[in-house]
Chain A
Amino acid sequence: MAWPLSPTCPTTSPPTSPLAFSASGVSGTNSSTIAVSPAAAAQLVFITQPGSTTYGSALSPQPVLKTRDSFGNDSTVGLGASQLVTLSVSAGTGSLLGTASLDIGTAAGNGTVSFAGLQVSMAGTGKQLSASAAAIPTSALSSSFNVNQATVTGSITANNKIYDGTTAATIATRALSGALAGDDVSLSGGTASFASKSVGTARTVTATGLTPQRRRRRQLSTGFDQRHGRWPTSPRALADVSATGVNKAYDGTTQRRPSPCPITAWPATALTTSYTSASFADKNVGTAKTGQLSAVSRSAAPMRPTTRPIPPPAPPPTSPPAR
């Protein structure tokens, strides 16, 4: 037998055990009981792996970690009173939301930390978490989990219309339900039609081509690429554009010819906004009419970038000009 012997203490075994000696064809014998203590904490281990979830919900189950020595024994030896364990997303997209650092030191978790309420900021598959602590040489890598996409439901309302023999409808409002607080998403585009061209109330309107999109307010600023010091060469999406003071004399139609008129775009930018045609919601005489602009475009004149904050959006005119 090679000497000296050293014990390892299995995690699942009692901390005391005799040694058992045996040989082929010989009656074995046991030593007296030996109390085995763990060695210094050398690794972090996921006792509970993070579970899959849906975007916007906490991981289920939440991860639980322990400190163990190099032989796999639970150990707090050498941890110190305070030792922070930090989790991060090491595989897959997104980052952790919630408290991703807990104290596993002897004065806090004492070798065990149980995270709670952790979420991942992006949906996707094959995500993994890694756990590390300054005084523990070997970090831990979790098994993979998924964050499934959340479901949002879109809805629209349509403007009333005067009978015109068609089912065409103008979308008045678009809304998304199920979007999470803090996520700036909206519904855009689409065309709508009434179920029937007949006069009536509470008509069903069906919309197609609606597109959920994530608003990027920062891209709606001046658009100047400060990193590369240039203006964008591709047109950016327009949003929150309204026109006021677009008047016309009654001519039995809803169309208005293009002509200069004030257009307010949010946020106020150094861009020039124009349109090629406009139509009112109906052909009747009245004020504060709503309508639609088409082929709206925005152009920018070269200018030097500025680091000044973008001013808040200018309030739209509160009273229409005289007709």
Chain B
Amino acid sequence: MTSVTTTQLTYTVTAPRRGNPSQLTWQNVRVRPTAGTPLASGNLRMSGTASVVGLSTNANLGTLREVAGAASSLAILTQPSATATAGVPFAQQPVLQVRDQFGNLRSAANGVTNSTVVTAARGNGSGTCRAR
């Protein structure tokens, strides 16, 4: 490993004069986002002067994708109606989001595959909410 920057890992490889070609294996290559949000993404490309059989210069070795973290908070996207009648559905139904600690939405688009159960109840008093 010759150098490490926020965008590039540089290896220096010396090939043997004769014999079988060298084999390079990268392990535990990690990318650390510089901010919690927005979610980062990018590609892992090869560059440099080495000639690698099967890879062209700037070949895309893979896509890097940052996914949302663990559920941390609930956020109301749409408030329920300000007035309601007992037993009658809210004219404006509430819409909520589950977010990670950085405020990233936990969704399939953000790489979340598991679900979170959210419960709605009266904020005070002993009433209940019903879902139809």
**What residues make up the interface of A, taking CB atoms closer than 8 Å to B?**
1-10, 12-14, 17-39, 69-71, 73
Contact = CB atoms under 8 A, between A and B. Distances in A.
A191 B7 CA distance: 124
Given A4-B131, A5-B129, A17-B125, A26 B71 contact: yes
Contacts of A18: 122-124
B118 A22 contact: yes
B117 interface: yes
Contacts of A27: 72-74
Given A6-B89, A10-B126, A23-B119, 19 more contacts: A1-B118, A2-B132, A6-B84, A6-B132, A7-B87, A7-B122, A7-B129, A10-B127, A12-B125, A13-B122, A18-B124, A20-B121, A31-B79, A31-B80, A31-B94, A34-B80, A36-B86, A38-B85, A69-B87
Interface in B102-120: 116-120
Given A19-B80, A20-B120, A29 B127 contact: no
3 nearest CB pairs, A to B: A13-B125, A18-B123, A2-B131
B53 interface: no
Nearest to A20: B123
Contacts of B96: 1, 21, 29
Interface of B: 71-76, 79-90, 93-94, 96, 98, 116-132
Given A1-B118, A1-B131, A9 B86 contact: yes
A13 to B, nearest CB: 3
B127 A17 contact: yes
Given A19-B121, A20-B120, A7 B83 contact: no
Given A17-B123, A18-B123, A23 B90 contact: no
A21 B127 contact: no
B74 A29 contact: yes
A23 B86 contact: no
Contact of A29 (B75, B116, B124): B75
A8 B76 CA distance: 21
A27 B125 CA distance: 21
Contact of B93 (A3, A13, A73): A3
A139 B131 CA distance: 28
Contacts of B84: 6-7, 34-37
B86 A22 contact: no
A27 B74 CA distance: 6
B131 A37 contact: no
B14 to A, nearest CB: 52
A198 to B, nearest CB: 80
Nearest to B85: A37
B57 to A, nearest CB: 47
Contacts of A14: 124-125
Contacts of A71: 86-87
